[in-house]
Structure 1
Amino acid sequence: MPALEAVDDRLQQAMKLVLLATLPGVLAAFWLYGWGVLINLVLATTATLAIEAAVVQWRKRPLRPTLSDGSALVSATLLALALPPYCPWWLTLSAAAFAMIFGKHLYGGVGSNPFNPAMLGFALVLVTFPQSMTHWPSSHGMDLLSGLQQVFGVGQAPDAWVQATALDSLRINKSLTMDELFASNPAFGHYGGRGVEWMNLAFLAGGMFLLQRRVISWHAPVGMLASLFIISLLCWNGSGSDSHGSPLFHLLTGATMLGAFFIITEPVSGARSPRAKLLFGVGVGLLTYFIRTWGGYPDGIAFAVLSMNLCVPALERFVAARQQPEVP
């Protein structure tokens, strides 16, 4: 019993540090998109905790330890940050419900889930409601009242409040060079997506904090970022109209840093041994680039993570076999 309590305490402390580390990224997202980010957070957190409480009571498990470990809050935060700001309230609730029920408790709760719950919920709504998932704000968003009206469908959104993201614009581009895209398309900033560059740097700062506090190890983030950098460098053909984007563009656009430091480092669904973590990160980075460049979705991190979740047992067996001493 004391050993279990010690494990719970360590998990709770780790989750608190992860939530603290997301704060720079949350503030950057709020600066970029406005109140929609905070509305997402409130809705996702409320729905996640309510659904988790209902499922735990239905399973006749102790309620307080489950709700207080912080894992549901982390999943809600990652889900809220991944969803488009000002998306309909039912979209957030659907993603949260699927994440908690099918991504977590169907397999026995925290410590048993083979998939990242937040990414599973995100992938569901992305596949099921693709049109709603493409409505990203074009500026600093709306005021709080207009944002609430948009989320709950009781008001008319202002004209031209959404635009294609930089990744989506690059994926469908057929004629403009990269220089022309950066000069003419409002979704592009200096090196990546406008404003999204700073959001990625904010999540990078939070990731450095987690590394410094040894909440996560360097293996998975370095594997992902290095493989994404190398494959985008090898496939980069300059600024032509058929360019797939520079390495810096891919590192500072989309959910790259959120994925590298907060999503693929999830200790349960990800790899556990250091070498397997490194290979896990490499796989996520490569798949992210492939999906962004040739797939049907502009970012692809969620599908890359879920695909590599399936490979974790094989990665662990491969690493263990390579580490066994040879029999003379």
Structure 2
Amino acid sequence: TSNVPVLGITGTGGAGKSSLVDELVRRFLKDFPKKTIGIVSVDPSKRKTGGALLGDRIRMNAINHPRVYMRSLATRQSNLALSKYVKEAVEILKAAEYDLIILETSGIGQSDTEILEHSDVSLYVMTPEFGAATQLEKIDMLDFADLVAVNKFDKRGAQDALRDVKKQYQRNHQLWDKDVDTLPVFGTIASQFNDPGMNTLYKAIMDTLVEKTRADLDSSFEISKEMSEKIYIIPPSRTRYLSEIAENNRNYDKQAMSQVEITQNLYGIFKTIQAVTSSAVEKPLLTEYGLNDDKILGQAQGENRPLVELLIAEFNKIKKTLDPLNWEVILGWDEKVNRY
């Protein structure tokens, strides 16, 4: 039973450890159709109430499988990342002859090194949002972790964060002769299906487990050389895409209503001119440029002429605010109606 490899996973709360474990389990089940896996997830107990959520299973979809056993434990103490019963739980899973055991801690902060005592290979999960690069000096697990996952790699600045973590890992482990790009630090998006970074991380974990424990877990999982990149339905540069469409529609409606109001005013003035000049025929009174002033004034009687001149002036003033295309539509409207 001592030959059963234990993978310890730790990291700060909210780093996506449970989602990452779920993705690792899914790949393991696909990679090894006959092997079994046991998971022990430790959740922190609240100091005030003494209770623990035990909510890791909520994020895990792949555990509902006959070859997977999952158990949640509470730390029973607020200042610890592991329960004092973890050792016994792991021993029971080893006795049950599971092929791989995953131990996930509650992740209470920057110092979760106690998981090293219970695991053969350790994975530290973090996010790109750790602040300044100097903050990495405070993370003990970067000194001891066999592998590091920078999860939520779709966050802004993730590439720079990955570079900083790799350099810190190189310093902490004194790996000056190694190329930074070959270090076991991976950018992952555990929430994304078939993420290239998760595939690479899984393969690296299995290879490290075999190398350290000589376990019968030679992986045939195929990976690509791609980096993790978020697949967006709408790219970040177009995050206001729908808002822009809505704004354009609102502006169009606003402009259309403005043109309708102008046209109604013109129509009112025109009907008044018709009434004053006793002209029943509209066509001869309108031209492609506006009103047929000469024709209208020729029909105006002496006492009405000053009023007609005022109406023509007001009509021409308002018409300047009308879109020329709309004036063409007005002129051709009767013809269009007759066509249909």
Same fold by TM-score greater than 0.5 = no
Larger Rg: 2
Tell me the TM-score normalized by structure 2.
Answer: 0.22
Determine which structure has the larger strand proportion and give its number: 2
Determine which structure has the larger helix proportion and give its number: 1
| Larger RCO of the pair (alpha carbons < 8 Å, separation 6+) | 1
